[in-house]
């Protein structure tokens, strides 16, 4: 291992909950684990997260921490994702991630949609030296 090769960047324009869910899903995809619960168990056994060369910036770690109630339920297999209302902002767990009319607030005419995805940005060698975890 030569330190991080990718940096996780939260989605632009997402709410706090949406960004947390998107980052969690992207991390799971990258490390090849089915759910956040499995990742947490793996973390507890190793004493360090197996992030497979992924750099998770401090602000994203804090985000995942403060939204642990939500992140702990994120799963790729079976799919558990978050959809969020574009009007009232409420979130709901979803097993499809498909758009749906908001039913979370009485009278709300918003739409529940999946938050935009987080992105992985390649880290150049200089950055890698600065963030070497060992
Ligand atoms: Zn709504």
Are 25 and 81 contacting, i.e. CB atoms less than 8 angstroms apart?
A: yes
Model confidence at 126: pLDDT above 60? no
Between the CA of 90 and the centroid of ligand 1 the distance, in Å, is 6
| pTM (predicted TM-score) | 0.85
Q: Is the dihedral of CA 46, 48, 53, 56 positive or negative?
A: positive
Give per-residue pLDDT as tens, 95-106. Answer: 999 999 999 999
Give per-residue pLDDT as tens, 52-62. Answer: 889 999 999 99
**CA 110 to CA 115: how far, in whole Å?**
14
Q: What is the mean pLDDT of the chain?
A: 89
Q: Where are the domains of the chain?
A: 6-118
Helix or strand run (H / E) with residue 28: helix 16-31
Between the CA of 97 and the centroid of ligand 1 the distance, in Å, is 16
Between the CA of 15 and the centroid of ligand 1 the distance, in Å, is 14
- Which residues sit opposite 84 in a β-bridge? 91, 113
What pLDDT is attached to residue 128?
Answer: 47
């Amino acid at each position: 291992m030569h330190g991080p090769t990718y940096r996780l960047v939260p989605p632009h324009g997402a709410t706090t909950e949406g960004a947390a869910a998107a980052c969690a899903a992207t991390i799971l995809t990258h490390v090849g684990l089915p759910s956040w619960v499995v990742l947490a168990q793996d973390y507890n056994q190793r004493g360090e997260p197996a992030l497979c060369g992924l750099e998770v910036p401090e602000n994203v770690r804090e985000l995942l921490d403060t939204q642990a109630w939500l992140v702990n339920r994120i799963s790729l297999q079976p799919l558990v994702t978050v959809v969020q209302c574009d009007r009232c902002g409420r979130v709901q767990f979803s097993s499809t991630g498909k758009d749906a009319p908001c039913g979370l607030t009485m009278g709300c005419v918003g739409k529940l949609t999946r938050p935009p995805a987080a992105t992985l940005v390649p880290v150049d060698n200089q950055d890698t030296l600065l963030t070497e975890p060992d």
